[in-house]
Structure 1
Amino acid sequence: MLRRLKALFLASASGLGVTLGLVFAMSLMVFYFDQNSYGEGRAFVSAGQFSVTITMLMGIPYMFGAVISLLSDPDGDKPFSHSLSTTFYVYLGLMAIGFLVLREAVICMVIAAPVLLPFVAIGIASMRYFLARNMKRGSVAQGSFLLLPLALLTFEASVSPTPERVTVQREIVIDAPPEVVWPLLLSMPDINEEEGHWTFTQSVMGVPRPVSAEVKGEGVGAVRAAYWQNQVYFEEHIIEWDAGRAMRWSFAFPDDSVARYTDAKIGPDTIHMRIFDGGYRIEPMHDGRTRLILDTRYDLSNHLSIYAKLWGEVLLGDILGNVLVIVKDRAEASKSSPLQ
């Protein structure tokens, strides 16, 4: 009887200790994450830039799964599917809160899900393994391995990622000559929601679509003002100009409308990603048609650059492709427009 009470006491102490440790660890990293995005801690963590990379996508989800598993099945005697489904419903609840209260967080959660969810499952399995071992042996130390994700914080804070410039490019063939296409690159007013085409980024994730774009001025130094849905606004400052053939710009974000809609941590000008420049290039074809090429380049700096580039190809690729379809449809509907 005494042995059973001792084992139960040790198990309870161990479970409580691990839970408190996990909560403390998550609170610590959320604090640094918040500081990195909004507060004075930005300079402290900018070298490691760990907040939205390995620690946030793997470490915290691992601990999240472990804690939910412990709270929903403290004895570890229910099926694995029980802990998994409970955690999944909690995650959906957080997404719902993010959608209703902090809409910008949804984009981050969708991007993170393919990496985040597997590590939640690993956290669940780890906690169940710990509970099974602990109930048999009553060792408080057996749960210490659950705190290993904290090592990621130290690793990422001490190892700086290698910066990389990434190019996303799309092109389209337009059944209209260059002299019809070029004016549309200078002015595209009153773009309605029906223009463009279906994309995962804009049709499913809800990223805003363009409303209008207009170049103010001419040649290098001109400014292309871009207005998108949900009051998103940014500018494209012309740095290269070849009338009728090409133009290139650097991006400028006079306000926080882009970052506010997406997420402050994956905005267009952060320590993790910075939109560099973009441009159009017109290539006349021998049959009178036009090949229009649109690209965007951005600087990427985090420990999950391969994964980030995949999403960049999807998100930016969808946006660029949609813009090209709008230009194509308008150009083919007005082949007689004069060169501006």
Structure 2
Amino acid sequence: MSTEHEDTRLSELAPTTSNDEKPTDKPRRRMPFAWFWPILAGALVALLLRIAFSGGPGHRFSPMLGAFVYFAPAVCGAVTVYMAERIERRSWGYYLWAPWVATALFVSGTLAVFIEGLICAIVIIPLFAIMGSVGGLAMGIVCRVTNWPKPALYSFAMLPLVLGAIEPQLPDPDQFSYTSRTLFIAAPAERVWHALNDARDIRPSEVGDAWAYRIGVPLPVSGVTVDTPEGRVRQVQWQKNVHFDEIITDWQPGRLLKWRYRFTPDSFPAGALDDHVMIGGQYFDLRDSTYTLTPREGGTELRIDVSWRVSTRFNWYAEPVLQFLLGDGAEHILRFYKARSERTLAVAGR
């Protein structure tokens, strides 16, 4: 009896807990803007890789190497996901979209510190976004199914550096392509022919809507055919003091005009174009252009054919980009000659 009485007294003195009150873990404090730090970490690592890949064309650690173009954004995505997984488990969707943001931040960083030009940045960012998602998805899988995400990340980060030292020993693959456009001009062939060989004082409003010029390619100023000791040469001037020659290889007045391009070391002053897309360089070159004039009822049909070479480890991506930019540029050039020829005809008819 006494024992039961003592147990009752002890139970009355013990603290009581409501059924609704359940012990909970103390909430873990999180860093401010925790969602952003993994993305920033991925972008910073990729920016460091870009600084490491500062070699010239054809040299080790050139930013045009496949080792950089494919693996730098992939490492960016992998670091982003790894740092995020250290905080908490992320969704499969996160593995895809977070690397997009990180690679965009990385590219913005290269522009901010002036180690990349606007042309390259705009052209390459879609490919970087894809490769960033590939890297992020791969790291997400590693984090979910293995116990060694950190060694995997270190190995992944070393891969572009190893390949960047080896890849220049291999020849660049050449791919030759061309684009063609045709436009009807309500003017006789002789006026179109004159416009082709004497294009002076070109105003930005006449050609500036072409996408190549929108993303930073200098605008044309003039293109005039002159007689020289080596034959007929079309001398071209662009903005930013860009200048080069078009050596005429086929001259059929009123019918056909063809030239090949000649670029010299001083054709493109520093800052006029991104080094990686230098025309006539190791990775890209314009080969020739042909204008064909065909008389039609009420005017002339003008056709332009432009051929070029691209030599990169990502020709599958670069070739359609160039196809779009040069095709769009060719359309605007034809419209320029149409406007000039028809305007000249209207003035002459007054």
C-alpha displacement of 1:328: 0.2
With the length of structure 2 as denominator, give the TM-score of the two structures. Answer: 0.72
8 Å Cα contact 2:225-2:233 kept in structure 1:
yes
Please tell me whether residue 326 in structure 1 is matched to residue 346 in structure 2: no
Distance of aligned partners of 1:241 and 1:284 in 2 relative to their CA distance in 1, 3 Å threshold: same
Q: 1:104 Cα deviation (Å)?
A: 6.0
Distance 1:26 1:94 in 2: 6
Query: For residues 208 and 311 of structure 2, what CA distance do their matches in structure 1 show?
Result: 31
Q: State which of 59, 67, 84 in structure 2 corresponds to 1:55.
A: 67
In 1, Cα distance between the equivalents of 2:229 and 2:337?
21
Q: Could you tell me whether the CA contact under 8 Å between 1:180 and 1:336 is conserved in 2?
A: no
More relative contact order in 1 or in 2 (CA 8 Å, sep 6+)?
Answer: 1
Retained in 2: the 8 A contact 1:193–1:209?
Answer: yes
SS in 2 for 1:283: strand
In structure 2, the CA distance between the partners of 1:80 and 1:211, relative to structure 1 (3 Å rule), is same
Show the counterpart of 2:218. Answer: 208
Matched, 1:175 2:194: no
CA RMSD of aligned residues (A): 3.6
Report matched runs for 1:1-340 at 5 Å. Answer: 31=52, 33-37=53-57, 42=58, 51-71=63-83, 73-79=85-91, 87-99=99-111, 102=114, 105-133=117-145, 137=147, 141=151, 143=153, 146=156, 149-150=159-160, 153=164, 156-157=167-168, 159-196=170-207, 198-203=209-214, 205-217=215-227, 221-254=231-264, 255-257=266-268, 260-285=271-296, 287-335=297-345
Which of 1 and 2 has greater Rg?
2
Query: Does structure 1 retain, via aligned residues, the 8 Å contact 2:55–2:63?
Result: no
Asked if 1 retains the 8 angstrom alpha-carbon contact of 2:103 and 2:129, the reply is no
Shift of 1:175: 0.9
Mapped partners of 1:138, 1:321: distance in 2? 54
Give the number of aligned pairs. 304
Corresponding letter in the other structure for 2:279: P
Give distance in 1, aligned partners of 2:108 and 2:151: 37
Question: 1:324 is aligned with what amino acid?
Answer: L
1:222 is paired with a residue whose SS is strand
Task: Tell me if structure 2 keeps the 8 A contact 1:224–1:235.
Answer: yes
**1:303 Cα shift?**
2.8
Structure 1 residue 304: Cα displacement? 2.3
Q: 1: CA distance between counterparts of 2:270 and 2:292?
A: 28
Identity %: 23
CA distance 1:197–1:138, change in 2 (3 Å): closer
Cα deviation, 1:283-334, whole Å, max 9, x if unaligned, reads 222x142111222222222332232210111111122211111100111112
Cα distance in structure 2, aligned partners of 1:178 and 1:244: 5
Counterpart CA distance in 1 for 2:345 and 2:173 is 47
User: CA offset at residue 166 of structure 1?
Assistant: 1.7
Cα contact 1:238–1:247 (8 A) shared by 2? yes
**Structure 2: segments with no counterpart, 5+ residues:** 1-40
Instruction: Kindly provide the CA deviation profile for residues 167-219 of structure 1, in whole angstroms up to 9, marking residues without a partner as x.
Output: 2222211111101111111111122122147333334x243332222112279
The amino acid across from 2:171 in the alignment is S
Partners of 2:118 and 2:216 within 8 A in 1 = no
SS in structure 1 of the partner of residue 223 of structure 2: strand
CA distance in 2, matches of 1:232, 1:104: 20
The letter for the 2-side match of 1:273 is F
User: Could you tell me the TM-score, scaled by structure 1's length?
Assistant: 0.74
Alpha-carbon offset, residue 111 of structure 1: 1.7
Q: Provide the C-alpha distance between the structure 2 equivalents of 1:294 and 1:72, rounded to a whole number of angstroms.
A: 52
- Tell me: CA distance 1:115–1:155, structure 2 relative to 1, closer, same or farther (3 Å): farther
